[in-house]
Amino acid sequence: MHELITLTSNLREPAREPVACANGNGPRVFIQTYGCQMNVSDSQTIESMLGEAGYRFCGTADEADVVLVNTCMIRETAEVRALGQLANLSSLKKRNPAMVIGILGCVAQAKRREILESHAYVDMVVGPDSYRRLPLLLEERFISAPGAPGLLETTLMREELYDDVLPRHHGGVTAFVTIIRGCDKFCSFCVVPRTRGRERSRPLPSILREVTHLTEQGVRDVMLLGQNVDSYRWDDKDFADCLLAVAELPAVSRVRFMTSHPTDISEKLLRTMGEHEKICPYLHLPVQAGSNRVLREMNRPYTRERYLEIIALARELVPGIALSTDVIVGFPTETEDEFEETFTLMEQVRYDTAFMFKYSERPLTKAAQRMKDDVPEDVKVARLERLISLQQKIARERNEAQLGRQTSVLIEGLAPKDGAMWAGRTPDFRPVVLPKNGESVGELVPVRLESLTGFTFHGAREN
Ligand code: SAH
Ligand code: SF4
Ligand code: F3S
């Protein structure tokens, strides 16, 4: 069963593998990253710190002296996947007892003691707030005898990761930049506030410094990241100001962002999007459910009606905007009629993309503490399948309606299946391939959308 489906975008594709590099001659590190873009971005920052400390990177755990697993626990399947990786590491460690194994990320934060107690071969457990200490922790590890008791480093010291460490960029024209960490929303189903801590905005000058550094390495398309970007605040600047400041950097061609929250999104943001060409007309606005009672139980403080008003305003202020969402089916106590309200909301909005999930009970959340996970698995599966087929049909129709449109494509690289074609995306994030004709990577090319294969467009250059 699809746990997560991606119809027209790869926004949440699995984290990419680290590339091998040969600078320095220190111990070799392999980082395996699971979870959301936050984790991808954190892993890049960690690579940058370790690279500066003289570590090298390798492409597999077998050849590594240090293996770091950056974990996710948003749903049970994510946690099982990350912890399953640990079992494989245990046999590697038997063969190479000097190997250092570290668990990072959200599971590390929420389950630190359990991991050390039940996985004797794990050397360190480091939560997202303590990554700055990783070089020191590893150094201590290499000095102290292998087999010494595992280290636990969590929130005791809260040190922000990014103010002076620039993440290692893996090449390419697109990059993630974290602007706000943590989350204060406490949706009743969600573990993130427990793993990522309170909301903290990053100073705007530090964001601009990082984006400038990225553009010097060829980045043209910047995705600003946060669990709830709309509550960004630094000095007297809000999220719309931050977005505009990034868009105004001359070397930036496009800026995107995620995630927005229906309670905090502002009219000013939508106006800014509509007025500025470099800000992509794409909005990821998770609705989670279409029933007001379920939304209340989820601690999502907006109604279906208010949500639909925001969507209408977005479509008015940002013509041609592409919309995406997250939806949960089978939240505790959700009835068939209430699920139907999610179904009709999706019919009404007609999203371009949707990420649809079965409710998964998570430790430390209000829903887990107060509600029984009482929607049977087969009912969850049936609801999910209905939504997925609805959304596939809508996404296809919305794509077909784009045919013939003139737009622009930012060239990201060669098309994976055909070296004579470029691959890129439209501003509203639709994948396009087009014949190579002297363009270069990072260039914005005027294109007409001519045909569709699956969810990929075939474009022709317009002059
Ligand atoms: N701040 C982001 C959340 C990231 S988690 C946001 O508000 O979108 C991404 C999505 O995972 C959430 O929007 C939600 O739809 C889903 N999710 C979170 N907890 C879940 C759970 N316990 N079971 C199923 N899906 C969950
Ligand atoms: Fe989780 Fe809600 Fe915060 Fe998103 S806004 S990270 S769903 S608590
Ligand atoms: Fe997963 Fe943590 Fe991101 S739980 S979705 S890696 S914030």
Q: How would DSSP label each residue in 295-364?
A: HHHTT----HHHHHHHHHHHHHHSTT-EEEEEEEE--TT--HHHHHHHHHHHHHH--SEEEEEE----TT
Distance CA 335, CA 341 (A): 10
Give the ligand whose atoms come closest to the C-alpha of residue 259.
1
The residue whose CA is least distant from atom 5 of ligand 3 is 36
How far is ligand 3, taken at its centre, from the CA of residue 23, in Å? 30
Distance CA 432, CA 29 (A): 36
Residues of the chain with CATH 3.30.750.200: 284-401
Looking at 3.40.50.12160, 3.40.50.10440, 3.40.50.2300, 2.30.40.10, the CATH number of the domain 3-156 comes to: 3.40.50.12160
**20, pLDDT greater than 60:** no
Give the ligand whose atoms come closest to the C-alpha of residue 324.
1
Distance CA 253, CA 267 (A): 23
Element housing 85 (H / E) = helix 76-95
| Cis ω for the linkage preceding 212 (within 30 of 0) | no
pLDDT at 7: 26
pLDDT at 283: 98
| Ligand 1 within 6 A of CB of 362 | yes
pLDDT at 19: 37
% of residues, the chain, pLDDT over 90: 75
Condensed to tens digits (0 to 9), the pLDDT of residues 253-292 reads 999 999 999 999 999 999 999 999 999 999 999 999 999 9
Q: Which of 74, 180, 185 to mutate to test ligand 2, by most ligand atoms within 8 A of the CB atom? A: 185
Task: Domain 284-401: state its class.
Answer: alpha beta
At residue 140 the predicted structure's pLDDT band, cuts being 50, 70 and 90, is confident
> Considering the chain, what is the average pLDDT of its residues?
89
The arrangement of secondary structure in 406-461, i.e. its CATH architecture, is Beta Barrel (2.40)
How far is ligand 2, taken at its centre, from the CA of residue 360, in Å? 14
**243, pLDDT greater than 90:** yes
CATH topology of domain 169-280: Transcription Regulator spoIIAA (3.30.750)
- Sorted by sequence, the CB contacts under 8 Å of residue 313 that are 6+ apart come out as 267, 270
| Ligand 1 within 6 A of CB of 39 | no
- Sorted by sequence, the CB contacts under 8 Å of residue 112 that are 6+ apart come out as 125, 127, 152, 154
Q: Indicate if the alpha-carbon torsion angle 366, 372, 377, 380 is positive or negative.
A: negative
Condensed to tens digits (0 to 9), the pLDDT of residues 25-49 reads 789 999 999 999 999 999 999 998 9
Condensed to tens digits (0 to 9), the pLDDT of residues 53-108 reads 889 999 999 999 999 999 999 999 999 988 888 888 888 898 888 899 999 999 99
Residues listed for the chain: 463
| Ligand 1 within 6 A of CB of 227 | yes
Give the ligand whose atoms come closest to the C-alpha of residue 326.
1
The residue whose CA is least distant from atom 1 of ligand 3 is 72
| Mean pLDDT across 311-323 | 97
| Mean pLDDT across 409-430 | 95
Distance CA 176, CA 168 (A): 11
**Nearest ligand 2 atom, CA 186:** 8
**251, pLDDT greater than 60:** yes
Condensed to tens digits (0 to 9), the pLDDT of residues 187-232 reads 999 999 999 999 999 999 999 999 999 999 999 999 999 999 999 9
**157, pLDDT greater than 60:** no
Element housing 184 (H / E) = none
Residues of the chain with CATH 3.40.50.12160: 3-156
67-76, 166-175, 382-391, 410-419: which range is least confident on average?
166-175
